[in-house]
Structure 1
């Protein structure tokens, strides 16, 4: 299984800085690609999970690190990744970011022109009461900050990888224009990037047992050439024809009529595989806490067409609905409507639907929100492999047990990330 045509990466020592790192979806992907990473995460609960998972983490506000601690970041970081909070841009969110799209685009152009930070901050405060709307600009501000960093000797990030909800596609297009036009270097030159087509990809097309759409931006310094988008390995799911392209569709060979082309092709000699149903990963012996014996149905927490009485239903022979922060409210029942014990999806099951290892050490509070906010590691592997021109490891590695960090190792990680081995320190953000 390959996601790109390349057999080996072009960076000798790739090292990822993961902004808005969450509980570790992209870092798990990086780990399985043998690429080190450092995450910055504001949420204390997500940091607890990350420390238990053995992931290097700064418990910090991304903006505060850029303003006050950028020079403390390891100089070898050469890949910038991030999935800024999407709530204000999401269809399910308040919509503040969508209303501010035009203003945010203008701020992006101002950043590329080299407008002073103070003026940028002033303009961002006018975007509304929700500060998360402005966080979508942090990856670009980090990329520009790297060019003036004495610790980095002005070296730019070699690769930039961003993901967000489809509502932000218009902003990623402005990012693309800015990166291809060039970022302002303090020496007066422009730092140019080559950017792949900005696309909204469907995670089930990469083997994730869940229908979820994410808009991706992949950029490389121009000397590294234009990056490809990850090639799909599985069919996409059509809710109007729920059997088509699945494991029960004996006619599904190669691509199907109406399926996306562009990145969603497997390539010569690599026909698309069926999308993966929930029952295949949650059934007995598949790594969930006790194994959920088919047949079963999952009833969505969300109503169709805004009507809470018209909740969607997926069977074990279909992919999951999008895993959100309310995933634990999804009811599980037998086909006759009686409860399927347990009658709610467990955190471990939700994590498996996101393609986390079955024993991933979810910790802290609000685990449902942690799971729902995460990048599916399998999807992250495809995206990072395409960005870095690395071969993909077997998918089965995500089904192996994840090594939980020992107490001593957690204390070391916490001391680095919080400033104290047994709790939060003075640099940690307030909840």
Structure 2
């Protein structure tokens, strides 16, 4: 079976790079012109447009689906509109399993409703008589109940499906980032990828823990030219400077978000250091140091991206024993 992914909400290319690392081609659909500029500079196959305006019939050679819908309304750093209608979205997914089509609940805003788009593509592909062979979806942890509802629908349609929350540092990322993922294979069982690295626990030496796993990666490993530093974050502070989180360079980074440019760095004597460059922030998100970040809102592009390091593990979990295609999507 040849594997070719169509990647929804593809952003600057994190999931596509992860697929490339497994030898699997993909084409990404992305509406944001800045992310598209970065993708094109990176020579990634790209369709500039809104995923709602396309469907499986537009990509007849793609037999696998991937995607990371916008997370802003579900994230704890966002406004919470998505979390407020979580039960309605779960119910819509359950009803779609019986009806064979998906409809957004009344009153749900457009951005939040995008979390249902992958299911529309899955159902339409099945209706065309060519269900996707593999599915990879990722989002913030708050979306896990929706993925669990997806999994039940997929299992009823002949898929093996699994979902859960993964810690990205356990797959080699120099950052503590938790993501809700869903993996599915048509007519076959599937499992979440086994961790390759130990979990990060503040105060626990990275040499401690399961000897069969590698130590977690630190910021200093990813940014060796930076020298010693401490990162000071505003995440979760509620505006109180006393609550600012701190991590030394020999620990993983905080979750990289679109506000990564606000992260302060100080030397061992407390002196301010230059803030992270786009290239450095990208490295902490798992991108190559020479990735061609282009256009505006680069911190947001980086923060929104699926880390390629994690994406590689997810794609390998569903496509590792399938034959990668040598054809372009």
Smaller-chain TM-score bracket: over 0.9
* 2:272 paired with 1:272: no
Partner residue in 1 for 2:147: 172
Partner residue in 1 for 2:138: 163
* 2:99 paired with 1:114: yes
Distance 2:29 2:261 in 1: 26
* 1:72 aligned to which of 58, 67, 74: 58
* 2:13 aligned to which of 12, 20, 24: 24
Distance 2:27 2:305 in 1: 16
Partner residue in 2 for 1:218: 183
Partner residue in 1 for 2:34: 45
Partner SS state of residue 235, structure 2: strand
Q: After superposition, where does 1:9-408 map in structure 2 within 5 Å? A: 12-66=1-55, 70-73=56-59, 75-114=60-99, 120=103, 123-127=104-108, 130-149=109-128, 154-182=129-157, 192-196=158-162, 198-222=163-187, 225-239=188-202, 241=203, 244-246=204-206, 249=207, 252=208, 254=210, 271-284=212-225, 292=226, 294-304=227-237, 307-340=240-273, 343-390=274-321
Q: What are structure 1's unaligned runs of at least 5 residues?
A: 1-11, 183-191, 256-270, 285-291, 392-415, 417-431
Distance 2:172 2:142 in 1: 23
Are the aligned partners of 1:235 and 1:245 in contact in 2 as well (CA < 8 Å)?
no
Distance 1:310 1:344 in 2: 20
> CA offset at residue 304 of structure 1?
3.1
> CA offset at residue 299 of structure 1?
1.1
Q: Deviations over 1:236-287 (max 9, x none)?
A: 1112x2xx242xx3xx2526xxxxxxxxxxxxxxx11111110111012xxx
Distance 1:234 1:306 in 2: 33
Are the aligned partners of 2:9 and 2:68 in contact in 1 as well (CA < 8 Å)?
yes
Q: Deviations over 1:276-326 (max 9, x none)?
A: 110111012xxxxxxx1x211111132436524421111111100000001
Partner SS state of residue 148, structure 2: helix
Question: What value does the CA root-mean-square deviation take over the aligned residues?
Answer: 1.9
> CA offset at residue 112 of structure 1?
1.6
Partner SS state of residue 155, structure 1: coil
> CA offset at residue 147 of structure 1?
2.3
Q: Deviations over 1:202-231 (max 9, x none)?
A: 001111000000011111112xx2111111
TM (normalized to structure 2)?
A: 0.94
> CA offset at residue 107 of structure 1?
1.3
Q: What are structure 2's unaligned runs of at least 5 residues?
A: 323-328
Distance 1:328 1:302 in 2: 12
Are the aligned partners of 2:198 and 2:209 in contact in 1 as well (CA < 8 Å)?
no
Are the aligned partners of 1:299 and 1:331 in contact in 2 as well (CA < 8 Å)?
yes
> CA offset at residue 35 of structure 1?
0.9
Are the aligned partners of 1:297 and 1:315 in contact in 2 as well (CA < 8 Å)?
yes
Partner SS state of residue 126, structure 1: coil
Are the aligned partners of 2:168 and 2:175 in contact in 1 as well (CA < 8 Å)?
yes
Aligned residues: 324
Using a 3 Å threshold, how does the CA distance of structure 1 residues 335 and 55 change in structure 2: closer, same or farther? same
Partner residue in 1 for 2:326: none
Distance 1:77 1:211 in 2: 32
Q: Deviations over 1:94-146 (max 9, x none)?
A: 111111111112211222222666xx2xx53422xx31111111000000111
Using a 3 Å threshold, how does the CA distance of structure 1 residues 275 and 336 change in structure 2: closer, same or farther? same
